[in-house]
Amino acid sequence: MAIKLPLHTLFLLLVLLLSAAWMPPKASAQPRTCSIELDSSGCTAQDCVAKCASQFNGVGECAHQEYVSNFHCVCLYACL
């Protein structure tokens, strides 16, 4: 037993399905974050921040290396 739908209902359903199929995919609003080590021999916070900002337009911070007594400069920046 088939259900009969009015013609205008079928037309609206078809338009709805086609419009959903033709919608472009959403772009990600958040850029990926990458990191790079700028200096492994030591870190001065002011120099690390300045170097990261000038070279990568990012945020630099001094991070502690595990099993090593000194800090190193790590730069976090938006990458493609």
Per the document, the length of the chain is 80
Residue 64 predicted with pLDDT over 70:
yes
- Lowest-confidence range among 26-30, 47-51, 64-68, 75-79? 26-30
Q: Which residues pair with 63 in a beta bridge?
A: 72
Q: What is the mean pLDDT of the chain?
A: 81
Q: Which residues pair with 60 in a beta bridge?
A: 75
| Domains, the chain, ordered by start | 30-80 (3.30.30)
The two structure tokens encoding residue 57? 């337009």
Do residues 77 and 43 lie in contact, with contact meaning Cβ atoms separated by under 8 Å?
no
Segment 51-71 mean pLDDT:
87
